[in-house]
Chain A
Amino acid sequence: MLRYAIKRLLLMIPVIIGVSFLIFFIMDLAPGNIIDTKIAEENMTDEEAEMLREQYNLNGSMISRYFKYMGGLVRGDLGKSYITGKPVLESYLEKLPATIVLAAASILVSVIISIPLGIYSAIKRGTFQDNTCMVLSFLGLSIPNFWLGLMLIITIALNVKWIPTSGFRGIASVILPAITVGTGLTATLARTTRSSMLDVLNQDYLRTERAKGNSEFRVVMRYALVNALIPIITIAGGQFAACLGGSVLTETIFAWPGVGRLIIDSVNSRDVPMVVGCIIMKSFSIGLVVLCVDLLYAVIDPRIKAMYARGRRRRK
């Protein structure tokens, strides 16, 4: 299993090379550069603009800038922001805790809502209740985040004193943003739960369990759900990884100091080292989460664990 994990981590290297090149290329194609955003704030003469261009090595080709950047990356240096002059990694890590908290809370909200909905729908398959549950889960997806966020602020935060309207101040402040992001994730997760449960519910071993006199609740929760968990975890893990990239709209509305806004602000000001650095960190963390999810399969499913063990024996 360790070998597998190391192999997967090594596979991330070509991914990061590809991602960074793509971002460099796209940022180079975008109209405007860092000098232009600086000009928008300051009045510059042509010589001053030229001086800055030299400073940021903007006269050289995109390829030369890319290799210079990658040279730094090999030594673990993600570069410095054009705007603040601070190391990119430092800025990113500053925003990461808030992002992880929001991502985890959002997944929690999503899981709490969608798994019961999915199970219930599967049990009541084809009935009115089933359709209602699926419509409800879609409602979460169809309501735009910015609208839901503002409505929650106006209706809840203004009336409930201990829930703050915005910012990352204490654990109470995560409730509203987590509901906003979490409800948007329910549709996919609820549908996955439903179909995965449907596959399992018709299996013979469940009939056996019922025949043994187990209650229906126990049959569903203990035997059906656990066997249906793999696809659910895959989807939830993927959603968590995506959340780690930040949710720009929600972060903006709730003044949440996360990485999503950091990336968007940097794109708008053409702060290339910041954008590339953040995206590299983002792909790295997504890769890491996906790996963790894969390893989690072995914990949940004994068959997969046995497979790893068999592989080891065979190699011996």
Chain B
Amino acid sequence: MKKLISLLLVLALAVSFCFANGASEGKAAPVAQVEYKDTAVIGFQTKTSSISPPTQTSVMHRLFFNLTHDTLVDYDEETSSLKPGLAKSWTVSDDFKVWTFVLRDDVYFHNGEKFTADDVLFTWEFAKDDGSTNATVKTTYNKIEAIKVIDDTTVEITLKNGDIDFLYTYSNESYSVLNREAVTADAAKGPGIGTGPYMNDEFVVSDHTTLQRNEKYWGELPPTKTLEFRFISDATTRLAALEAGEIDVCQGPNNTEHNIIRANDDLILYVCPGMNLTFLAFNSEVPALNDPNLRLAIAYAINDQEIIDGAASGVGSVSDGMWGFFTYGYYDDWAGAGLASYQPQNIEKAKEYLAKSNYPNGGLTIRMTCNSAWTVGALQIIQAQLKALNITVEVQQLDSAGFTSMTKAKEHEVVIQSAALTGAGGDMAKFFTAGNTANTATYNNEKVTELFKLAGVEKDEAKRKDYYKQIQLIIHEEAPYIPLYYAGTGVAYSKKVSGAVWNGSGKFDYSQVKVEK
């Protein structure tokens, strides 16, 4: 009996293989003109859990929202500047409180409804009430005092306090415009309906997402009809799927496998300088660590390049400041300001600072905590480097939730972590002002807080940049954080792929991607 069942199953398998074989597509006769496939398949690495823009802020979610939805204003990563989206133009009052947008008149949602100023109002009402539990989104929407619909194509947003960076924040895909009718009719699937170049077709958590072209898109029509995104969490498998031709793009291949991609003539590897900064944060509430001289000694004793080579397989670039190189007001002329750069490593200088600290001969033990396998590697390298200062490093690894629980309770000493930086100067305040969960250094300097406030309402660009410069000089001398490096963002794709935009934030743009047959 058992044998019979086994035999039947084997037979069933064999039959299905035959079908799998028979389904292979017929080869088209060679023609001079390049033909493109109807479907592009992209393998991605981080799970997405929602199609509703106001509920998620992670890069991978935003990559999808960018395809399915639109914001009033777009942020151009290449030029670090703002450009029109659903709004044709905008003006702002002198105190940066009242923002007036003139909207496009030719935009329709995927359900056929016309886009009007009322949808802007609705999105705000929906997200700030029960449409989202995302703290970042709620905080931003709570900054808005009122949204006034002037007519169908004019909308006025009044903020509670003036904010010069408001549009940088508001251009984020999480603030995409939703449709009142769609969401009212179906609160679960309605938020997935937007005005973007692609429409949500199928969304299966931790498996795949399929998008179909929006034939009535108001902007440039996408060349590919269907985009299929497959979630393949293991990087080696993802790359194998690319090599086997099952997917056309493999996002985030293993750094250690870059050589395999380079050796394959059918594949292209692109590595862009990332916008994710990895850094050390010193908890200033730990008495021993509340000592700028000690922190500076450590900053000069660390060799960033060694960490990149050892822990990130050489894929990354050294960072010398906590301010993103693409963030508004970035300053790096340390010599011009009479300061010395943290990099390259300078043991002599490190020892000078150590001599001025409370531990002139070292001899202290610091607990450094991380939450991933590759940051363990980085900490082990730092552990070895700090031996030169006679500082012992105790490396501790926790899982993500345990890690955050510890930093929130301020029970950590030093943590290594990464953060995605943005183009908005004011956004950096979250690391350096009290009351933010991102401020893992528990840093609080009244002067810095004051400077952020001044910069936030300063219309004169030169003055504003000067405020940001002063902040950067202070944090360079006090070193509450030690910047280490920007991890490179890699992507591997077939030679037949063109039209995609790869950038450092990892929020790649596939709206114009096409794949040769």
Q: Contact: A265 with B206, CB < 8 Å?
A: yes
Residues of A within 8 A of B2 (CB): 111, 229
Which of A108, A166, A167 has its CB near the most chain B CB atoms (within 10 A)? A166
Given A157-B240, A172-B17, A112–B133 Cβ distance below 8 Å? no
Contacts of B395 in A (CB 8 A): none
Are B437 and A39 in touch, CB under 8 angstroms?
A: yes
Are A36 and B237 within 8 A (Cβ)? Answer: no
* Chain A residues whose CB sits within 8 angstroms of the CB of B436 once the complex forms: 43, 45
Q: Are B135 and A91 in contact (CB under 8 A)?
A: no
**Which A residues touch B237, using CB under 8 A?**
150, 153, 165-166, 253-255
Chain B residues bordering chain A, tally (CB within 8 A) = 54
Interface string of B36-76 (1 = CB under 8 A from A): 00000000000101100000011000000000000000000
The reply to whether B139 and A48 form a contact with Cβ atoms under 8 Å apart is yes
Give 1 or 0 for each of B1-31: 1 = CB within 8 Å of chain A CB.
Answer: 0100010010011001100110010000000
Residues of B within 8 A of A161 (CB): 24, 244
Do B50 and A84 touch (CB < 8 A)?
yes
Residue of B nearest to A40 (CB): B404
B451 at the interface (CB under 8 A from A): no
- Quick check: is A41 within 8 A (CB to CB) of the other chain? yes
Q: Which residues of A contact B402 (CB under 8 A)?
A: 30-32, 36
Cα A44 to Cα B241 in complex, Å, equals: 38
Partner of A30, one of B206, B244, B401: B401
**For residue B133, which residues in chain A have a CB less than 8 angstroms away from its CB?**
38, 52, 55
Residue of B nearest to A153 (CB): B240
The residue on B at minimum CB distance from A149 is B237
A41 to B56, CA, bound (A): 9
Question: Which residues of chain B have C-beta atoms less than 8 A from A37's C-beta?
Answer: 400-401, 404
Using CB atoms, name the residue of chain B closest to A31.
Answer: B402
A204 close to B (CB within 8 Å): no
Size bracket, chain A contacts:
35 or more
* Cα of A261 to Cα of B47 in the assembled complex, Å: 11
- Closest approach, in angstroms, between the C-beta of A91 and any C-beta of chain B? 7
> With A37-B404, A39-B404, A270-B401 given, is the CB distance from A167 to B206 under 8 Å?
no
Residues of chain B lying within 8 A (CB to CB) of residue A84: 49-50, 205
**In the complex, which residue of chain B has the Cβ closest to the Cβ of A36?**
B404
* Cβ of B403 under 8 Å from chain A: yes
Contact between B404 and A158, CB atoms less than 8 A apart: no
Kindly state whether residue B501 has any CB partner on chain A within 8 Å.
Answer: no
Contact pattern, A 24-58, Cβ under 8 Å of B = 1, otherwise 0 = 00000011111011111111111011001001000
Complex contact B405–A170 (CB within 8 A): no
Name which residue of chain A comes closest to B430, CB basis.
Answer: A43
Main SS of the interface on chain A? helix
CA distance A206 to B420 in the complex (A): 73
List B residues 398-441 near A (Cβ within 8 Å): 398-406, 408, 430, 435-438
Selected from B9, B138, B234, B430, the residue in CB contact (under 8 A) with A253 is B234
| A269 CB-CB contact with B under 8 Å | yes
**Closest residue on chain B to residue A55 by CB atoms:** B133
A143 interfacial contact with B, CB 8 Å: no
In whole angstroms, what is the CA distance A137 to B399 when docked?
35
Query: What residues of chain B lie closer than 8 Å to A150, measured between beta carbons?
Result: 236-237
Are B233 and A269 in contact, CB atoms less than 8 angstroms apart?
no
Cβ of A70 within 8 Å of any chain B Cβ, yes or no, is no
Contact with B along A44-81 (1 / 0, CB 8 A): 11101100100100000000000000000000000000
Specify which chain B residues have a CB less than 8 angstroms from the CB of A112 in the assembled complex: 6
With contact pairs A43-B438, A44-B437, A112-B6 given, residues A164 and B401 touching in the complex (Cβ less than 8 Å): no
* A252 and B234 within 8 A (CB): yes
The 8 Å CB contact of B404, one of A32, A46, A167, is A32
Check if A257 sits within 8 Å of B16, measured CB to CB.
Answer: no
A41 to B399, CA, bound (A): 14
**B91 at interface (Cβ–Cβ under 8 A)?**
no
A116 to B398, CA, bound (A): 46
**Is B136 among interface residues, defined by CB-CB distance under 8 A?**
yes
* CB under 8 Å from chain B, chain A span 250-296: 252-255, 257, 261-262, 265, 268-270
Q: Nearest-CB distance from B493 to chain A (Å)? A: 16
Q: Does A128 contact B (CB under 8 A)?
A: no
* Contact assessment for B135 and A43 in the assembled complex, using a CB-CB cutoff below 8 Å: yes
Whether the pair B399, A268 counts as a contact (CB closer than 8 A) is yes
- Measured CB to CB, the closest approach of chain B to A89, in angstroms, equals 14
A32-B399, A172-B20 known; A48 vs B9 contact (CB < 8 Å): no
B181 at the interface (CB under 8 A from A): no
B246 at the interface (CB under 8 A from A): yes
Q: A36-B408, A42-B136 are in contact. Are A164 and B437 (CB under 8 A)?
A: no
Whole-angstrom distance between the alpha carbons of A96 and B135 in the complex? 33
Q: Which chain B residues border A158 with CB–CB below 8 Å? A: 240, 243-244
B231 at the interface (CB under 8 A from A): yes
With A42-B136, A48-B139 known to touch, is A166 a contact of B17 (CB < 8 Å)?
no
Question: Across the interface, do B399 and A154 meet the contact criterion of CB distance under 8 Å?
Answer: no
Contact code string B214-243 (vs A, CB < 8 Å = 1, else 0): 000000000000000011111011101101
Partner of A165, one of B17, B20, B24, B244: B244
CA distance A7 to B438 in the complex (A): 55
* CB nearest to A52 among chain B residues: B133
- Is A304 among interface residues, defined by CB-CB distance under 8 A? no
Contact between A40 and B138, CB atoms less than 8 A apart: no
Q: Which residues of B contact A229 (CB under 8 A)?
A: 2
What separation, in Å, do the CA atoms of A175 and B13 have in the docked complex? 9
Nearest A residue to B142 via CB reads A48
Give which listed residue, A45, A94, A254, contacts B437 with CB less than 8 A: A45
Are the C-beta atoms of B57 and A42 separated by less than 8 Å?
yes
Q: Taking CB as reference atom, which chain A residue is nearest B137?
A: A42
Task: Give chain B's interface residues, CB within 8 Å of chain A.
Answer: 2, 6, 9, 12-13, 16-17, 20-21, 24, 47, 49-50, 57-58, 133-136, 138-139, 204-208, 230-234, 236-238, 240-241, 243-244, 246, 398-406, 408, 430, 435-438
19 A-B pairs, CB-CB below 8 angstroms?
A32-B401, A32-B403, A34-B401, A39-B135, A39-B437, A40-B403, A41-B57, A44-B136, A46-B437, A153-B237, A157-B240, A158-B244, A162-B20, A165-B244, A166-B241, A229-B2, A254-B234, A255-B231, A269-B401
Give 6 closest A-B pairs by Cβ, nearest first. A32-B401, A32-B405, A36-B404, A31-B402, A44-B135, A255-B232
Measured CB to CB, the residues of A under 8 A from B are 30-34, 36-46, 48-49, 52, 55, 83-86, 91, 94, 108, 111-112, 150, 153-154, 157-158, 161-162, 164-168, 170-172, 175, 229, 252-255, 257, 261-262, 265, 268-270
